[in-house]
Structure 1
């Protein structure tokens, strides 16, 4: 069994929530839901040029092998939205931040094109999405929820 955790960042601090809980949050806010060490759903507001939803690790469409599990992903759009979100709290090169964030985001994959049996020397960050999530939050210049800082 993998790691599960749900957290909301608002007013400069993290709150631990019940699995899947997404209460109304004061903007700007960020909500992350880690599912079984495979998917991190990221919901952010305000959305800027993004849709307000991005994924780390795998997307629900890929993980569940079901095109109805989530909307199709547009990683370029979400990287732009998350970089704009970052710029609300930080001064710096938004274009460079967008490029950095893009490296963390998951895009939809055809499940037939991916097999763990074919992958050699897989990095922990590619197996355990909570590691990628911690790195992603660090890239956003955010503190980590206690459970992810271990």
Structure 2
């Protein structure tokens, strides 16, 4: 079984709860195969994209949602990184990390690796991923 968890980056730090301020970045990982990335800027603009697989592909529910416009979301995330972190990011590099709308397998074995590549592009610190030792008993 892979990692399940939600991490938020706001106010210059990572937390396991929701974001504490805007701008923020929210990363929700499902079984180390899908990461939903939500980002919001100070003006409340933002977006959502996926790393690993899009949920509609992963859960084999093609009608569950439209494919992500990866070009638009990559440009939106690059804007967010510039405004929130002061980092210039090439949208093409972000787009190369995104889940394929056609369902092509991701390059990384676990989506946490892809998340870390995205964060490095944006100049953000890496979160401390919880380990099995952090899990509740049982």
TM-score, normalized by the shorter chain, greater than 0.5: yes
Partner of 1:147: 129
Q: Which of 36, 47, 71 is 1:52 aligned to?
A: 47
Distance 1:51 1:71, change over 3 A: farther
Partner of 2:134: none
- The number of residues matched between the two structures is 128
Are positions 1:16 and 2:11 aligned together?
no
User: Post-superposition shift, 1:91?
Assistant: 5.0
Distance 1:37 1:82, change over 3 A: same
Distance 1:29 1:101, change over 3 A: same
Are positions 1:90 and 2:86 aligned together?
yes
How do residues 65-76 of structure 1 correspond to structure 2 at under 5 angstroms? Answer: 65-76=60-71
Are positions 1:109 and 2:91 aligned together?
no
Partner of 1:135: 117
Structure 1 portions without partners, runs of 5+: 18-22, 117-122
User: Post-superposition shift, 1:47?
Assistant: 9.1
- Contact conserved, 1:28 with 1:45, CA < 8 A, in 2? yes
Distance 1:62 1:91, change over 3 A: closer
Structure 2 portions without partners, runs of 5+: 131-138
Q: Which of 37, 41, 49 is 2:32 aligned to?
A: 37
4+ residue segments displaced more than 4 Å: none
3-state SS of paired residue (1:8): strand
Q: Which of 108, 123, 126 is 1:126 aligned to?
A: 108
**TM-score, reference length from structure 2:** 0.80
Distance 1:98 1:4, change over 3 A: same
